[in-house]
Amino acid sequence: QVHLVESGGGVVQPGRSLKLSCAASGFTFSSHTMHWVRQAPGKGLEWVAVISYDGSNKYYADSVKGRFTISRDNSKNTLYVQMNSLRGEDTALYYCARGGEWNLLNWFDPWGQGTLVTVSS
Amino acid sequence: EIVMTQSPATLSVSPGERATLSCRASQSVSSSLAWYQQKPGQAPRLLIYGASTRATGIPARFSGSGSGTEFTLTISSLQSEDFAIYYCQQYNNWPRGMYTFGQGTKLEIK
């Protein structure tokens, strides 16, 4: 059974940093693209970042480019996102989601339950 | 960036009736289109990928159609558990703006 569990969320002041993790199980993590997607309170879904199966390719939404860094440790079956220079508009529930096997251009399935990040002074 | 526009924003339908949700892309995404269902307090769940292929475990009452810029999600006979928010997503645009979601359609009980 495929399982994704996010952690690391919390309340952080504007301008500070936070690192989220996503622990994966039930599938061959090292062969799948992985994503971060966020959802601000009461709003829709916004794709944040993607990393290829081997970590060699990374792409970001314009809204986070230069501030967020996606990474993965295939030996630990874990996905990360380092979020720097956080802003109020980064406040959201952050989901990790599995992408395609070997393929960057694919749908997302499944999704974790999310971890909440609140940026506030 | 490809913009995905869903309509209507809210759809009121009675249980047992058919619901038709629309999604339009600002430029062609071929068949690289997925639909997700999200219920309150839950993560999104994949329903349809490749514009028309049901994901594992998705009931046959859910169907997707379309290609290029116009897509439709149809729920043939609404069950109580189907009332939720539905999002379309394109995964075609390489390399910038590779994944964009529509703003969602809220399907509510009439």
Q: Note the pLDDT tens digit of each residue in A63-88.
A: 999 999 999 999 999 999 999 999 99
**Closest Cα of chain B to A82: distance in Å?**
20
**Are the Cβ atoms of B104 and A106 closer than 8 angstroms?**
no
Give the torsion sign (CA, B103, B23, B27, B35). positive
Q: Which of A6, A45, A48 to mutate to test the interface with B (most CBs of B within 10 A)?
A: A45
pLDDT single digits (tens) B30-87 = 999 999 999 999 999 999 999 999 999 999 999 999 999 999 999 999 999 999 999 9
The three-class DSSP label of residue A89 is: helix
Cβ burial of A84 (10 Å; 0-12, 13-18, 19+) is middle
pLDDT for the residue numbered B41: 95
Give the closest residue to B85 by CA, choosing from B102, B110, B65.
B102
- Residue type at A54 in one-letter notation: D
Chain A residues near residue B55 by CB distance under 8 angstroms: 109
**Are the Cβ atoms of A47 and B99 closer than 8 angstroms?**
yes
Give the closest residue to A34 by CA, choosing from A92, A86, A108, A90.
A108
Residues 6+ apart with CB under 8 A from B59: none
pLDDT surpassing 90 at residue A24: yes
Question: How far is Cα B2 from Cα A111, in angstroms, rounded to an integer?
Answer: 23
Q: How many CB atoms lie within 10 A of CB A36?
A: 27
pLDDT for the residue numbered A105: 87
Question: How far is Cα B104 from Cα B108, in angstroms, rounded to an integer?
Answer: 13
